[in-house]
Amino acid sequence: MISRRDFATAGAAAALIAGSGSLGRLAAQQKLTQEALLAFEPVGQVTLLHFTDIHAQLSPLYFREPSVNIGVGGVKGLPPHITGAALLKKYGLTPGSAEAYALSSVDFAKLAGSYGRLGGLDRMATAVNAIRAERPDRTLLLDGGDTWQGDYISLKSRGGSMVSAMNALGVDAMTAHWEFTYGADRVTEIVEGGLKFPFLAGNVRDTEWNEGVFDSTKYFERGGVTIAVIGQAFPFTPIANPRYLMENWSFGIREKAVRKTVAAARQKADLVVLLSHNGFDVDRKLASRVDGIDVILTGHTHDALPEAVRVKDTLLVASGSHGKFLSRLDLEVKNRKVAAFRYRLIPLFSDAIGPDPKMKAVLDKLRTPHRAVTEKVIGRTEALLYRRGNFNGAFDDLICNALLEERDAEISLSPGFRWGASLLPGQDISMNDVYNQTAITYPAVYRTKFTGAFLKTVLEDVADNIFNPDPYYQQGGDMVRVGGLNYDIDVGKTIGHRISNMTLMRNGAAIDPAKEYTVAGWASVNPGTEGPPIYDVVAGYIGRKKVITQPARGRIRVSGL
């Protein structure tokens, strides 16, 4: 059934050269081959290929997986809330192996020097084309969303660059989240005129008539099997992102509607697949409550799991983010049920997998007009810069420090976004690297006054979005990042009682609930927010510093685990 044996073929070979980490990139490249990475013993009639949360990353990159991913309530201690050494132990991964490097944060910077970058759409195209050639008329390629947003080129083309790339890749269907931040008119324009495959989002309705805005379901025939693909966009888009960008559309989990859609699909299809951007824990709960879904291809929370997770009769697949991985799920379907399956999370090591020439040409055409901006070097880092983790990341700390200094603030707030490539110690910092962390359509950096009481309210609200024990109330990314501020958090308590001991980082003074503090932040969901764009603020800070050492961060003490 579930098999990591296929994926471990490459990992075990790579482990032979990884023990001390003393052998370099050349040795790693010799052990990691395209043939080994794509090796797979086919099963059944259908192959589902899935990626999600690419965030417009066209090129190979470094991306450090989180070292902290806390689960609360019924999911405490369950995947994906297992990280670092515990994750390696859970899945029997050899420390220092290629698989361990791809899936965990352990020794990330050291192992990156040996194994190199992952991803790149030209590498993904190579993998997709190879599997399609092996399994003609049996393969379905599905995009879980968060595809059109995340770099300079996608921002300037308002998603157009990624639409061109996905059309060239031959995607069969997609769902969405950050796509909606280009605004309803732009999304409609692309869906009706630029996209060559279905855009499925059955949980998006217009606010006037309560009718579906997009198709919910698309039927495909593969290997003699009728497959229903149901699309579920991120349910909390108007909360996590500006409501004014899609003011005439409503979202939501809509469990009853999903149940009805699944029941209708079961009347026509042999296999029912939910292509979801709910997030892993939401989908785990949904699978426990809605019968009839054979597979959930989940997204939004950027989890990369080397095994499928079974909930009742439903398989959950989590395919990571940033184009690092391509999931392959082979299914044998008998009497409208999954009789057998084999799964593999394929890491796309860019030194081992060759670029597809046609896709490379598409990407070169997209990148070339923008190279003067994207390749401009503005500084260098001596520290590992990364984003991910429930509470902070080194690149988030850099952004918070930039907000403090460039906007002359006492406290800074930066959203807990999960997207953004990592930089290794010694790497140059380019404008592309800055945009990879900040490329949004509402980038204004505000400077305002918050009372201490309001600051606590902000932290409490965000904490409840993450640590509410009911997954259906988990509405966002990771915890808001803070600069100039220390605090304690008890994740086991309820809203209003999690945050305590708030102090100013510069002098240790307790935050006074009645006192006003100068606060700088960005990505406000409120209309009319004014200020310079965040990418200019961060670039100016890096350009002034020239060399980034370990960014200063506040002290966050976590309890209640």
| 3 state SS of 551 | coil
**CA nearest neighbour of 561 among 212, 53, 44, 81:** 81
54 forms beta bridges with none
pLDDT digits (tens, 9 = 90+) for 369-385: 999 999 999 999 999 99
Whether pLDDT at 270 is above 60: yes
Whether pLDDT at 8 is above 50: no
- Give whole-number Cα distances, 70 to 463, 489, 511, in Å: 12, 12, 27
Res 29: pLDDT:
57
Whether pLDDT at 556 is above 90: yes
Q: Is the dihedral of CA 429, 419, 97, 37 positive or negative?
A: negative
> Is the CATH number of domain 371-559 3.40.50.150?
no
Its pTM surpasses 0.75 = yes
d(CA 310, CA 363): 37
pLDDT digits (tens, 9 = 90+) for 152-185: 999 999 999 999 999 999 999 999 999 999 999 9
C-beta of residue 162 within 8 angstroms of C-beta of residue 56: yes
- Find the radius of gyration of the CA atoms of the chain: 23
Whether pLDDT at 425 is above 90: yes
Mean pLDDT of 113-136: 97
For the 46-61+122-360 domain, the top CATH level (class) is: alpha beta
What percent of the chain lies above the pLDDT cut of 70?
Answer: 94
In this structure, which amino acid lies at residue 478? D
d(CA 252, CA 48): 26
**CA nearest neighbour of 248 among 302, 188, 329, 310:** 188
Q: What residues contact 348, with CB distance under 8 A and at least 6 apart?
A: 37, 118, 119, 120, 123, 124, 127, 323, 324, 325, 326
Mind giving me the DSSP string for 156-224? HTTTHHHHHHHHHHT--EE--SGGGGG-HHHHHHHHHHT-SS-BB-TT-EETTT--BSSB-EEEEEETT
Res 1: pLDDT:
35
Res 30: pLDDT:
61
pLDDT digits (tens, 9 = 90+) for 478-525: 999 999 999 999 999 999 999 999 999 999 999 999 999 999 999 999
Tokens of 125: 């195209």
Whether pLDDT at 13 is above 50: no
C-beta of residue 60 within 8 angstroms of C-beta of residue 350: yes
d(CA 348, CA 99): 11
Whether pLDDT at 3 is above 60: no
C-beta of residue 532 within 8 angstroms of C-beta of residue 444: yes
| 3 state SS of 476 | coil
Q: What residues contact 269, with CB distance under 8 A and at least 6 apart?
A: 219, 226, 227, 228, 336
Mean pLDDT of 304-312: 97
Whether pLDDT at 6 is above 80: no
Residue 79 DSSP one-character state: T
- Residue written as tokens 């899936």? 103
Tokens of 283: 């989908």
In this structure, which amino acid lies at residue 557? R
Q: What residues contact 203, with CB distance under 8 A and at least 6 apart?
A: 216, 232, 233, 235, 251, 252, 253, 254, 257, 258
Q: pLDDT tier at 12 (50, 70, 90 boundaries)?
A: very low
Q: What residues contact 226, with CB distance under 8 A and at least 6 apart?
A: 219, 220, 268, 269, 270, 271
Mean pLDDT of 183-203: 97
What percent of the chain lies above the pLDDT cut of 90?
Answer: 91
d(CA 313, CA 329): 15
Q: pLDDT tier at 552 (50, 70, 90 boundaries)?
A: confident
Res 474: pLDDT:
86
Tokens of 113: 């020097």
In this structure, which amino acid lies at residue 61? L
Res 392: pLDDT:
86
**Domain range annotation of the chain:** 1-33+66-116, 46-61+122-360, 371-559
pLDDT digits (tens, 9 = 90+) for 16-68: 333 333 335 555 656 889 999 999 999 999 999 999 999 999 999 999 999 99
d(CA 117, CA 124): 13
C-beta of residue 325 within 8 angstroms of C-beta of residue 319: yes
- H/E segment holding residue 490: strand 485-490
